[in-house]
Chains A and B, each alone.
Chain A
Amino acid sequence: MRDLAKQRILKVDLTSNSTSVEEVPHAELVEFLGGRGIAAKLLYELVNPGIDPLGPENALIFSPGTLSGTSAPSSGRTSVTCKGPATGLYLKVSGGGHLGPELKYAGYDYLVIQGAASRPVYLWIDDDQVSIRDAGHLWGKTIREADRLIKAEVGDQDIETALIGQAGESQVLFANIMLSVYNSASRGGVGAVMGSKGLKAIAVRGRGGLTVAHPETFYQSTVQLRKALAEDPSSQGLYQLGTVGGVLREQEEGALTSGNFSRMGLDGVERIDGQHLVDAGYLTGRESCFGCSTACHRFVRSFSSAYGDVQAVGPELETAMALGANCTIADTEVLIKANELCNDYGMDTISAGHVISWAMECYERGLLNQERCDGLELRFGNGAAQLELIRRIAFREGPLGDLLANGTKRAAEEVGGDSWKWAMQVKGLEQAVTDTRIAKGYALSFAINPRGPDHLMTELIAELGYSEQAREVVEKITGSKEYADPSMIEKRAELVRWHEDCYAATDALGFCAFTSTSAYAITPANMAELMGHALGFELSEEQLMMAGRRVVTLERCFNAREGARRKDDTLPWRALHEPVPSGAKKGMITDQASLDTMLDEYYSLHGWDPETAIPKRETLVALGLAELCSDMPVE
């Protein structure tokens, strides 16, 4: 049994074929909260500025949360951190499933992969026995095939795996890593980094356990929090319909974009909403990640003449919006199949959807002709073309597959003309589906996100004020529920900064965002209390949130060191320049002036230089980062 506070790092160098174990100093665990926090520190120290994200100098860090593996509800998530190949900047993604706790039971809180293997390998962590094994026979296999082969090879069906598919092997810049077969650690091309290291898989068996400092108080608190979470209306909605239950609401509120953000609304969109998956019998099971009773994940099955018997997971809301609505495809069978293909090949469905919807717009506007599309008629709404394109992208097959595998930013540079204007990306990452023209806080949070424009470093849903709990969170941060209004610019900086701090702490402890920033049953005060009971000392809510801010600031420093400045904190051209074209939200826009106002407030709140967006020296001193970040550029 291992004391949870004695954190251990397993370092694997694939170039020299060697492994080593280090301990995390206790003071660092308190300062950075572990998980994502310590991973950010490790990345800052291990990865020098300017290196190739797809070269052996990059580090790939798996870090379950500090509380992962305990009874703390919904705390089994794993952060994966590296320098991102899509953006050339800091990249943290988070995945669920059961891998992280298994790694902890094997005796490790961090797995740091460095170097690159000369031929395909996989890592087999069997408690304290760590081996680097040949993966020649696994290369070229899908996620599910490779998982089956590894389990057969080690003779244990209960092990956990982290895998890349063909997309990761061919270094698609939005390849992901699948944890426990079905849970994606997505965005920014983490799978490409794993592929560049020749690492097909990580397989883990852990037969140890964890102890905490104050067992009884810790356990009783977690039992209460699990019940509170089960009673939270957002959690109950997620159990019933999954995230994809939000599609129709977007449509009803006039906030659903289609046609690569060029149109609003989509006829028949109810066919890709969560309610339809239940009513029409697609849903076959609700699935949890480790320790989570929300069970928002779905198993689905579809039968059709076109695609036969498909047994798959999801789709999530973002998947339905990106691969469905944004490609103007409201077809249940196509969506389930497209999601299955992305999962099997190991690709981020958000970026896949956006790169395809971007290409469809290019085709319709005559910038990509049929010849350049290798014969595909790439019109909006063409589901068969979408499915074929997913496969070509995963294998980088043909000129179009290879072009789109690099993401919309690079593809637009190649295609030229005005195509960059409808590339819905910033920093090289395709944006998530929330329409930032309608929600000002989201606009700010997407712009400042160190990994690129999405919701998964903040999740600002509270500003929409959908529930009483959400309005109470807004009141706690700003002093008034009135600010739960996404059309307002006022107080957006405060809201964003609080959510950043909270999200960083949430990730560091291993909690899911669906506990603290889009359901609200687990507050920062709860997190601080649990962390205190686990580690054996008093930790205040303020200390926890300040540690979150330390992590957020360190991540900003990583990007500043790579040359990112204020100009990079922006939004896609279309989002800044084309008002919502129709429907209930017609005419709404978050323009550059509004964004600038919010950015000025945000930087000043953080103590970052508003000209450069680099953290000021005094800010670093106050956060205890001055020594670590002594290489901050001064301009």
Chain B
Amino acid sequence: MSGLVVDASKCTACRACELACSFTHEGVFAPWLSRIRVVRLVDRGVNVPIVCVHCARPACVDACPTGAAHIDRESAVVRINEDECTGCGECVKACPFGAVELSAEKGTAFVCDLCGGEPACVANCIHGALTLGRVEMVAQRKRRATAEAFALADQGG
């Protein structure tokens, strides 16, 4: 399955993704319950959406004592089973990106589930900061962008 590809340079911090996410998963408008959060570095005018990258070897899964955090075999997506989650917070501490959170409402952990393949955040991202793609395509695109930049520099432009 494809994953979320974040291009922070296009993010304007409108936070439509946060609202779409919290509504789609919880039925409410609450950025604190969104699986994706936009971090605004206000001094620099830089906005970076932070969301689970669905690691192949997820630290959150390793840290989970009950097996609630797991990799879904079919989709290779990191999931947290609410019924098995005790709310101990070990996954939150283990995640190197801050992409796992605890719900103050339910007392359980939550993480991006890619909305089963059609993420609500992507559908609401007007300026293309969030897209759906395969990680190998990202590398390919970056190689091409690097080559273009190299060509430009080589031509003295």
- Chain A interface residues (CB < 8 Å from chain B): 1, 69-71, 73, 98, 105, 144, 147-148, 158, 180-182, 207-212, 215, 219, 223, 226-227, 230, 239, 284-293, 295, 299, 311, 313
Contact = CB atoms under 8 A, between A and B. Distances in A.
A1 B46 CA distance: 30
Contacts of B44: 311
B32 interface: yes
B30 interface: yes
B27 A71 contact: no
Contact of A288 (B14, B31, B43, B104): B14
A291 B30 contact: no
25 contacts: A1-B28, A1-B30, A71-B20, A73-B16, A98-B15, A147-B42, A148-B43, A158-B39, A158-B40, A209-B29, A209-B33, A210-B28, A215-B23, A215-B27, A223-B123, A226-B16, A227-B126, A285-B12, A285-B46, A291-B14, A291-B15, A293-B12, A295-B127, A311-B43, A311-B44
A131 to B, nearest CB: 21
B156 interface: no
Contacts of A98: 15
B22 interface: yes
A208 B42 contact: no
B12 A71 contact: no
Number of chain B interface residues as a range: 20 to 34
Given A1-B30, A105-B30, A209-B33, A286 B12 contact: yes
A210 B30 contact: yes
B129 to A, nearest CB: 10
A285 B104 contact: no
Given A73-B16, A209-B22, A311-B45, A293 B29 contact: no
Interface of B: 12-16, 19-20, 22-23, 26-33, 39-40, 42-47, 104-105, 123-124, 126-127
B40 to A, nearest CB: 8
Nearest to A216: B27
Given A1-B105, A288-B14, A210 B29 contact: yes
Contacts of B46: 285
Contact of B16 (A69, A211, A291): A291
A340 B19 CA distance: 31
Contacts of B47: 285, 287
A589 B40 CA distance: 47
Given A71-B20, A209-B29, A210-B30, A290 B14 contact: yes
A103 B104 CA distance: 18
B17 to A, nearest CB: 10
A284 B16 CA distance: 22
A227 B46 CA distance: 24
A69 B45 contact: no
Contacts of A144: 43
A293 B27 contact: no
B12 A287 contact: yes
A427 to B, nearest CB: 35
A293 B126 contact: yes
B127 A181 contact: no
A287 B124 contact: no
Contact of B31 (A105, A226, A292, A311): A105
Contacts of B20: 71, 223
A230 B12 CA distance: 14
Given A144-B43, A223-B123, A285-B45, A295 B32 contact: no
A314 B28 CA distance: 33
Nearest to B39: A158
Contact of B28 (A209, A227, A239, A313): A209
With most chain B CB atoms within 10 A of its CB, the pick from A181, A212, A288 is A288
Contact of A207 (B104, B123, B127): B104
A28 B24 CA distance: 31
Contacts of A311: 43-45
B13 A291 contact: no
A69 B29 contact: yes
A73 B46 CA distance: 21
A284 B28 CA distance: 34
